[in-house]
Amino acid sequence: MPRTPRPKKAVAKPRAAAPAKAWAGRFREPTDPAVEAFSTSIATDLAMARHDIRGSVAHVRGLRRAGLLTAKEAAAIERGLGRVLREIETNRFEVRPQDEDVHMAVERRLTEIVGPVGGKVHTGRSRNDQVATDLRLWLRDEIDATVSDLHDLVRALLGRARSDLGVVLPGYTHLQRAQPVLLSHHWLAHVEMLLRDADRLADARRRANVMPLGSGALAGAGFPIDRERVARDLGFDGVSRNSLDAVSDRDFVAEFLAAASILAMHLSRLGEEIVLWSSQEFGFVVLPDAFATGSSMMPQKKNPDVAELVRGKTGRVYGALVSILTTLKGLPLAYNRDLQEDKPPLFDAARQVRASLQVLARMMPRLEPAAATMRAAAGGLSLATELADFLVERGLPFRQAHEVVGRVVRECVDRGRDLESMTVADLASFSPLLDHRALAHLTIESALARRSSTGGTSRAGVERRLRELEAAHGRGRAAGRRRR
């Protein structure tokens, strides 16, 4: 009995063909699947989708002004790009297996929406100048966001400095107690570091804000596109002046990562101090419970994991810088596929830096300084320099004064005494210049007040600098549990 043939399934006709693969036309066979899997970058560079669309819109307008697109074609492509953007922003954008990178994914979807005219979007550009433009647009936004997060931490530190003005701690050199300083002075030292970081990032942004679009693959665009007008539309300060350099330049990536590495180093130093100060050996600060962790075995533990992770993530940022420098060091002009490897370390480093800034900005206002413990550690032998300065004021050369006070310190160490416990008779036995007036120098208050030169730790000087910083950056949040 003959079989009844099954009805054929209806096959929907595609609205338009997808963009041709890179091998189409030139090659006799398609790319091996292993090569496609090895070379795809879509999972990474999809982060630049919004920037790719923004660059494409500006490029389409440039094509329209050059007479390479009709008004109707340009409008259709812009509408299609707008729809792709909405799909991306609402997480409805679908990546297909044939999408090699974000540029091909966007163009493929655009062509599905608007038809063959979507293929005209790539007129006069290459993926070489396209990705360089997208990456600069992305980095420009990322620098702005990083600087904003940085200023949040600055304000948190200013809040700490304002609330901790009366707290004294020992300043350290070689991790040995050196001289007493105000805790606020210490917090402001970290602010100064961060402000230098902000300047470095702003400088890196300025050099990144140059448009490579219109450089083509390496020799420049073959059409009369007004690059300066396109650059203004995209907010660039100017256009690149050499097409070979423009498509192969990643200095701006390396420069950002260098600035980010220095910033991460500064955050790591702050994290290291929090780790030390929250230990029982120091006991200078109490961590908020919400920013500490316990032990899976030891019930008594309260670990400074946030500060440790900030310290640890610094290595990842350094690694990103070394990675890009290593990638770039052996590349001939112009574009080479090695440059695809610029984005994974860049994106990761930017994430780690911003995450560290954000968590520290939330944690710092909730630290609780142990003011009494800090003050007790700030006196004692840390006042030795005050005694030497007193002898200098009496006319003794500093080297001799240093030797005299060194013998006083040795006596204190041998007998288990502090400098504050020394009597006039005790001091006079080392030098007749050490009379009763020397005792007035052997106080923490005197030591702080005498450091009144610009940049010193006197309360008046610290308050003056704090007011300047608050005026420039805003007052920070009130710090400490006692102010919540």
**Is 190 an annotated catalytic residue?**
no
Question: Distance between CA 400 and CA 404 in Å, rounded?
Answer: 6
Rounded to the nearest angstrom, the gap between the alpha carbon of residue 456 and the centroid of all alpha carbons in its chain is 28
Cβ-in-10-Å burial (0-12, 13-18, 19+) of 204 comes to buried
Query: Which residue of the set 279, 295, 421, 452 is catalytic?
Result: 295
- Binned at pLDDT 50, 70 and 90, residue 149 comes out as very high
E strand residue ranges, 252-377? 285-286, 368-369
**What's the pLDDT at 24?**
60
Tokens at residue 426, please?
């005790």
Question: Distance between CA 143 and CA 154 in Å, rounded?
Answer: 16
Which residues of the chain form CATH 1.20.200.10? 128-175+182-227+237-370
- Binned at pLDDT 50, 70 and 90, residue 475 comes out as confident
Residue with more model confidence, 29 or 349: 349
- For the entire predicted model, the pTM comes to 0.90
Residue 13 has pLDDT above 70, yes or no: no
Residue 480 has pLDDT above 60, yes or no: no
Q: Residue type for 302, please?
A: K
- Rg, the chain, Cα only: 32
Place of tokens 């994290």: 271
Q: Which residues fall within 8 angstroms of residue 48, CB to CB, at 6 or more apart? A: 102, 131, 134, 135, 137, 138, 343
Q: How many CA atoms lie within 13 A of 416 on its CB side?
A: 0
Q: Residue type for 256, please?
A: F
Which residues of the chain form CATH 1.10.40.30? 376-483
pLDDT digits (tens, 9 = 90+) for 309-338: 999 999 999 999 999 999 999 999 999 999
Which residues of the chain form CATH 1.10.275.10? 33-123
Q: Which CATH number fits domain 376-483: 1.10.40.30, 1.10.3210.10, 3.30.70.3040, 3.40.50.1970?
A: 1.10.40.30
Task: Return the exposure string of 246-266: e unless at least 16 CB atoms fall within 10 Å of the residue's CB, then b.
Answer: bbbbbebbbbbbebbbbbbeb
The partner residues of 368 in beta bridges, in order of sequence, read: 286
Question: Distance between CA 433 and CA 395 in Å, rounded?
Answer: 9
- Binned at pLDDT 50, 70 and 90, residue 200 comes out as very high
Q: Which CATH number fits domain 33-123: 1.20.1730.10, 1.10.8.60, 3.30.950.10, 1.10.275.10?
A: 1.10.275.10
Question: Distance between CA 214 and CA 194 in Å, rounded?
Answer: 37
Place of tokens 């600055």: 154
End-to-end CA distance of the chain: give it in Å, rounded.
Answer: 88
- Binned at pLDDT 50, 70 and 90, residue 476 comes out as low
Average pLDDT over residues 177-192: 97
Residue 78 has pLDDT above 80, yes or no: yes
**Is 174 an annotated catalytic residue?**
yes
Q: Which CATH number fits domain 128-175+182-227+237-370: 1.20.200.10, 3.60.15.10, 3.40.50.720, 1.20.1050.10?
A: 1.20.200.10
